[in-house]
Structure 1
Amino acid sequence: MSGLPLSGKVAMIGGSSRGIGLAVAHRLSAEGAAVVLNGRDADVLDAAVAEIIAAGGRASGVLGSLATPGIAYAMVDAAREDFGRLDAAINCAGVAEPSGSTILTIDSEEFAAQIDAHLTSAFEVARAAAEVFAAQGSGAIVLTGSAASLGIFGGSGYPAAKGGVNALALAIAAELRPSGVRVNVVMPGAKTRLSTGDDYRAHIDGLRDRGVLDPGMHAAAADPGSVDHVAAIYAYLVSDLAVDITGSVFSAAGNFIGRYAEPELSLIAYRDHVDTPPYTLDDIDAALAAVRNP
């Protein structure tokens, strides 16, 4: 496999026994990397590892939920023990929000489960890998976000957790930049078991009918591209081709790739707080008049 973009590299991929994570594992392996897979179902995980090996790759697996402390560290240990090093850490772990869930119906336990599955798993992967990467002065972390964090796909726990993933990635990208460690986010759109079926279709149809999801986004959500299409951006971001890219949030679906602009503050009003009293409500209303949404 010498000469391939990821030749000699080793990556750990959380939530990679099926779906997008498994497609990412296959793509990294095809590009020359050895991969450590992860999943919560032993039979499914074993089958995924066997797939990679049967295709000529190098792979091992670590069983368990990444929300459980220690599982991410076990993946780090497996990478170093089985393949001698660790160069990249990717997290694709996650679960769907309960069907039809809204802020009016989700309970505290369901909300916490979403945070654990998406945000806590991302933290565990990033923390475990960052210790290795900071010490060696190199490494790439890629976390999985979602356009749901923009509020356009309904729910509450899922978008809150994915929004947290973005914030976590931006914070640790700034923190780890001096150490030569890169951190980015991919918001993928692809056909998986979470984005197919009658419940999923009823969900996105309902969002369209209520005006939450515009017709263009609804059409894209109703017929997403394959997981193989989005796997490419993950492979790129952990390769040396992306050595100067960190602190970015990407969107990918089918053959579409987008990059979100950095948030920018717009000044609404200003006056010296030392010499002037707090704003009245009318002051604020007048300041917002020029920029108020119609």
Structure 2
Amino acid sequence: MDLSGKVAVVTGSGRGLGLAYARALAASGAAVVVNDVDKTAVDAAVAEIAAAGGRATGVTAAVGPAATADLLADTAVREFGRLDVLVTNAGILRDRVLWKMTDDDFDAVIDVHLRGTFTCARAAVTRMRAQGEGGRLILISSPAGQRGNFGQTNYAAAKAGIAAMARTWALELARSGITVNAVVPVAATDMTRTIPALAPVIDEAERTGSPLPAWLRRDEGLGTVDDVTGLILFLASDAGGDVTGQAIGIGGDRLALWAHPREKAVAFADGGWSAEAIAGQWHDGVGARPETYGIPAPQAPGA
């Protein structure tokens, strides 16, 4: 995927998945604006990309405020002359069950993930539309936003909102030639290490230098951060120019297209539905095959 001449902004790219995205984009020829709240991480990422022959500059700022979004877009234009690709990866966790989650826990996650995606996309789209040559918005969502996850009210809500924004913006930006997709990545990172069932497996792989087990890469779709970058490059490239409004999962050996919410079963009653009528038909009618919810716990074969 040749991205020569393209310019990308990747939020939250000082480490983890964001750094993998930035490295891959730069290796494919794009100039990259690296962003993180940690200046040391930003400087290290920029130096690493430059040492590999790529072009990068850094912005140390917290994602969420409109001022940060404008700074990122302005930096791309000032340093590299344009903006073609935005990857909204920045995120934090404040996991707690509903009755223990504070207002600050909720607001902090919503501000970075949801508001940060909105403000950065708005700033990027303003520049892309002015250029008149299309563009790419690649919004990072999560399985938690598709299915829900215990202890992640704030995170799941934000990531579900990001997928909904991708569908909305795909409609609004089609005439401008700007594609918008939600990527649903699964990879071994500091975030996934917080999952009790995964932590020992990830720690063992890192300790021994061995790859993650085949069952985890295939059945759970969990691999390294570099396993996710192929989808980012595809969506940023000309080859992905006709893909928009989709939620696409990737991780380990798995690539998947997520279904959008839609009516699964429908029934009609002349004059409308009373509570008694619903109760009388629910279990044998519309509700006969209820949807599952929650991310299934990973389980090794034979466990």
TM bracket, shorter-chain basis = 0.7 to 0.9
Is the CA contact (8 Å cut-off) linking 2:148 and 2:156 kept in structure 1? no
1:140 has 2:136 as partner: yes
1:224 has 2:222 as partner: yes
The 3 A distance-change label for structure 1 pair 217 and 167 is: farther
Return the alpha-carbon distance in structure 2 between the equivalents of residues 218 and 6 of structure 1.
Answer: 28
Is the CA contact (8 Å cut-off) linking 1:36 and 1:79 kept in structure 2? yes
Give the structure 2 partner of residue 191 of structure 1. Answer: 188
Q: In the TM superposition, what are the counterparts of 1:122-137 in structure 2 within 5 Å?
A: 122-135=117-130, 136-137=132-133
Return the alpha-carbon distance in structure 1 between the equivalents of residues 102 and 118 of structure 2.
Answer: 23
Return the alpha-carbon distance in structure 2 between the equivalents of residues 9 and 256 of structure 1.
Answer: 28
- Describe the superposition over 1:157-176 as per-residue Cα deviations: whole angstroms up to 9, x where unpaired: 11111111111111111111
Q: In the TM superposition, what are the counterparts of 1:77-116 in structure 2 within 5 Å?
A: 77-98=74-95, 101-116=96-111
Give the structure 2 partner of residue 291 of structure 1. Answer: 286
Q: In the TM superposition, what are the counterparts of 1:143-162 in structure 2 within 5 Å?
A: 143-154=139-150, 155-162=152-159
Give the structure 1 partner of residue 22 of structure 2. Answer: 25
Give the structure 1 partner of residue 250 of structure 2. Answer: 252
**Which of these residues, 223, 235, 238, is aligned with residue 237 of structure 1?**
235
Q: In the TM superposition, what are the counterparts of 1:30-69 in structure 2 within 5 Å?
A: 30-69=27-66
| % identical aligned pairs | 37
**Taking structure 2 as the reference length, what is the TM-score of the superposition?**
0.83
Residue type of the alignment partner of 2:144: A
Alpha-carbon offset, residue 220 of structure 1: 5.9
Give the structure 1 partner of residue 5 of structure 2. Answer: 8
Alpha-carbon offset, residue 280 of structure 1: 1.2
Alpha-carbon offset, residue 194 of structure 1: 1.4
Could you say what secondary structure the match of 1:70 adopts?
Answer: helix
Return the alpha-carbon distance in structure 1 between the equivalents of residues 255 and 218 of structure 2.
Answer: 17
Could you say what secondary structure the match of 2:191 adopts?
Answer: helix
Q: Which shifted more, 15-24 or 278-287?
A: 278-287
Is the CA contact (8 Å cut-off) linking 1:29 and 1:58 kept in structure 2? yes
Give the structure 2 partner of residue 281 of structure 1. Answer: 275
- Describe the superposition over 1:134-177 as per-residue Cα deviations: whole angstroms up to 9, x where unpaired: 23140000000000113353121111111111111111111111
- Describe the superposition over 1:188-219 as per-residue Cα deviations: whole angstroms up to 9, x where unpaired: 001111122xx4326989xxxxxxxxxx8899
Alpha-carbon offset, residue 85 of structure 1: 1.0
Could you say what secondary structure the match of 1:45 adopts?
Answer: helix
- The unaligned stretches of length 5 or more in structure 1 are 206-215
Return the alpha-carbon distance in structure 2 between the equivalents of residues 204 and 42 of structure 1.
Answer: 28
Q: CA RMSD in A?
A: 2.3
Is the CA contact (8 Å cut-off) linking 1:170 and 1:184 kept in structure 2? yes
Give the structure 2 partner of residue 176 of structure 1. Answer: 173
The 3 A distance-change label for structure 1 pair 258 and 150 is: same
Give the structure 2 partner of residue 200 of structure 1. Answer: 195
**Taking structure 1 as the reference length, what is the TM-score of the superposition?**
0.86
Alpha-carbon offset, residue 9 of structure 1: 0.6
Residue type of the alignment partner of 2:274: T
Could you say what secondary structure the match of 2:196 adopts?
Answer: helix
Q: Which shifted more, 37-46 or 67-76?
A: 67-76
- The unaligned stretches of length 5 or more in structure 2 are 201-214, 291-303
**Which of these residues, 51, 67, 72, is aligned with residue 70 of structure 1?**
67
Residue type of the alignment partner of 1:146: S
Return the alpha-carbon distance in structure 1 between the equivalents of residues 250 and 94 of structure 2.
Answer: 21
Residue type of the alignment partner of 1:281: A
Give the structure 2 partner of residue 209 of structure 1. Answer: none
The 3 A distance-change label for structure 1 pair 203 and 286 is: farther
